[in-house]
Structure 1
Amino acid sequence: MTLSYIASGFAVGLLVGLTGVGGGSLMTPMLTLLFGVAPTTAVGTDLAFASITKGVGTFTHRVRGTVNWQIVRRLCVGALPAAVLATLALKSYGALDKEIGQIIRYSIAGSVLLTVIALLFKAKMLAWINAHPSRQLQGNALVYATVVAGALLGTLVTISSIGAGAIGATLLVMLYPKLTSAEVAGTDIAYAVPLTAIAAFGHWWLGSINWALLATLLLGSVPGITIGSWAARAVPEKFLRGLLAMTLTGVAAKLIY
């Protein structure tokens, strides 16, 4: 079983390295569906996994100067309190109860479908925004919208461990269309570090992190991400994103039915 976890971590890491998304969207459903891990434990373990891997990614983006720290702060203002409140809600309603586990399972499925929408329609949404510059938010309206987006992501990520990647990046593109692709990626990863860390700490408090499982996943994912990042330019991004979208749609359907 340990080798299966390492191989799974490698596969997810490889795909994340190739496409930039799919970590939580694949890891959490995979743990639930393939290995029979309880939804709450899958979410908690994946959040701890994400906080470590995204921390490494943030360091790289910071060195490259591709993190917009002002946007990171705005997102965190909404995301971090939302993560704390979502954790308290899980604690209050019994995060380890079977009924709550089923709700979390459906939340994972919903988050996966949102990720699919973000993957498929990101380019079209960006084209529409660029074609209607008068519709773009400015000033305080943009600040408030960013904080609200952070709160939504904070809640979604804490409950399902999914949303910080593709969904977060898509929201950034919609709110800040002038950011470069590298800045979107760097900013998305940077705000997710404190968010996933707080959410992971909350799940540790709830007792829903499997540390041995986390260690084996990291053993596979680190080389996977490294190889995927090196090979990213050799594989058509459109093909990979289409394949990922099809895979995630199947995962969501399996989670629901």
Structure 2
Amino acid sequence: MLEIVLFVLLGLIAAIFGSIVGLGGGIIIVPALMLLGSQLTGAPIDHATAVGTSLTVLIVTALASTMSYAKEKRVDFRSGWMLFITSGPATMIGSLMTGLLQGGAFQLVFGLFMLSMAGLLIAREYLKPITKAWPIERTYVDAAGNVHTYGFAIAPALAVGFGVGLVSGLFGIGGGSLFVPVMVLLFRFPAHVATATSMFVIFLSSILGSGVHGWLGEIDYWLVLLLVPGAWIGGKLGAYIAGRMTGKKLLWLLRITLILLAIQLIVEGLAKL
């Protein structure tokens, strides 16, 4: 019974963080399953199963968040569908590559990736969006009536979609950890629109990526059932919180958590090499 409660809480916490900053929650679920699998299930959870399970749960998290954001008209569906053109297929390719990183290689690479994501989340506070005029422009009017103008070019946007999708499928993290900073800094998306649109793309890409992992037998469906209730509630709760606060304190908690998890994964990965 305690294990069930812990899995529900894991899905809840990961989804709340993921929805607030557009991460998708996988960046917490994957290392948690790998590091705590033995304690929670009585047997180790291999990295491919952790990734496949996480990506499947992300479908629910991202759907819940997208529905909440859509009600507040924060999702740029046109931009989201365009990013999905390359993000979707790339997520499938990344999913096929997960099993190629054997032994401690996956933990080491994933730990280094998480460390870089923590650094990116910190740097984002001090970097300003570029002022380049993009050929495609969008406008967004926030709740206070302020008009935000942002834009992009098709080629770099598709390239970003491919890169993020590849990482998403490989690590099962959803890709928002890369999508949101790039959308904000490179294309000048308003933060709330970037987060909401990122969750929409994550929802679509996770369906394809989890399909590949399922085909490879890399999904623990019992774990999915345990994580989904918390993920659904957390996805909606995170979207609610994101719309009413800056989330700076939660962001710092997330950064610290990512750094600690990254260090643990790097140490274990090096020990297994």
TM-score range, shorter chain: 0.7 to 0.9
Q: What is the alpha-carbon distance in structure 2 between the residues aligned to residue 153 and residue 7 of structure 1?
A: 27
The Cα shift of 1:207 comes to 0.5
Partner of 1:139: 135
Partner of 1:33: 35
Q: Which has the higher helix share?
A: 1
> Does the 8 A contact of 2:22 with 2:199 survive in 1?
no
Q: What is the alpha-carbon distance in structure 1 between the residues aligned to residue 112 and residue 162 of structure 2?
A: 17
Q: TM-score, normalised by structure 1?
A: 0.83
Pair 1:61-2:91 in alignment: no
* Structure 1 unaligned spans of 5+: none
Partner of 2:170: 159
> Does the 8 A contact of 2:69 with 2:239 survive in 1?
no
Partner of 1:8: 10
Provide the aligned C-alpha RMSD in A: 2.6
> Does the 8 A contact of 1:113 with 1:249 survive in 2?
yes
Describe the superposition over 1:226-245 as per-residue Cα deviations: whole angstroms up to 9, x where unpaired: 55555568877322211211
Describe the shift of the 1:209–1:137 C-alpha distance in structure 2 as closer, same or farther (beyond 3 A): farther
Q: Which has the higher strand share?
A: 2
Q: What is the alpha-carbon distance in structure 2 between the residues aligned to residue 157 and residue 252 of structure 1?
A: 17
> Does the 8 A contact of 1:104 with 1:159 survive in 2?
no
Paired residues in the alignment total: 244
Residues 170-185 of structure 1 aligned to structure 2 (within 5 Å) = 170-177=181-188, 179-185=189-195
Partner of 2:146: none
Describe the shift of the 1:79–1:137 C-alpha distance in structure 2 as closer, same or farther (beyond 3 A): farther
Residues 1-257 of structure 1 aligned to structure 2 (within 5 Å) = 1-16=3-18, 21=23, 23-35=25-37, 36-90=44-98, 95=99, 100=102, 102-125=104-127, 127=128, 129-130=129-130, 133=131, 136=132, 138-139=134-135, 142-162=153-173, 164-177=175-188, 179-227=189-237, 237-257=247-267
> Does the 8 A contact of 1:44 with 1:161 survive in 2?
yes
* Structure 2 unaligned spans of 5+: 38-43, 137-151, 268-273
Q: What is the alpha-carbon distance in structure 2 between the residues aligned to residue 227 and residue 20 of structure 1?
A: 13
Partner of 2:140: none
Q: What is the alpha-carbon distance in structure 2 between the residues aligned to residue 193 and residue 101 of structure 1?
A: 30
What SS class does the counterpart of residue 124 from structure 1 fall into? Answer: coil
Describe the superposition over 1:111-130 as per-residue Cα deviations: whole angstroms up to 9, x where unpaired: 312321221111322x2x35
> Does the 8 A contact of 2:24 with 2:61 survive in 1?
no
% identity of equivalent residues? 22
Describe the superposition over 1:65-105 as per-residue Cα deviations: whole angstroms up to 9, x where unpaired: 22223321331122122223334445xxxx2x7x5253332
The Cα shift of 1:171 comes to 1.0
> Does the 8 A contact of 2:24 with 2:58 survive in 1?
no
Describe the shift of the 1:206–1:32 C-alpha distance in structure 2 as closer, same or farther (beyond 3 A): same
The Cα shift of 1:168 comes to 1.1
- Aligned residue type for 2:181: T
> Does the 8 A contact of 2:22 with 2:196 survive in 1?
no
Q: What is the alpha-carbon distance in structure 2 between the residues aligned to residue 234 and residue 79 of structure 1?
A: 29
Q: What is the alpha-carbon distance in structure 2 between the residues aligned to residue 236 and residue 183 of structure 1?
A: 13
> Does the 8 A contact of 2:30 with 2:51 survive in 1?
yes
Describe the superposition over 1:172-229 as per-residue Cα deviations: whole angstroms up to 9, x where unpaired: 112321x322211221111111111111101001101001101111123333445555
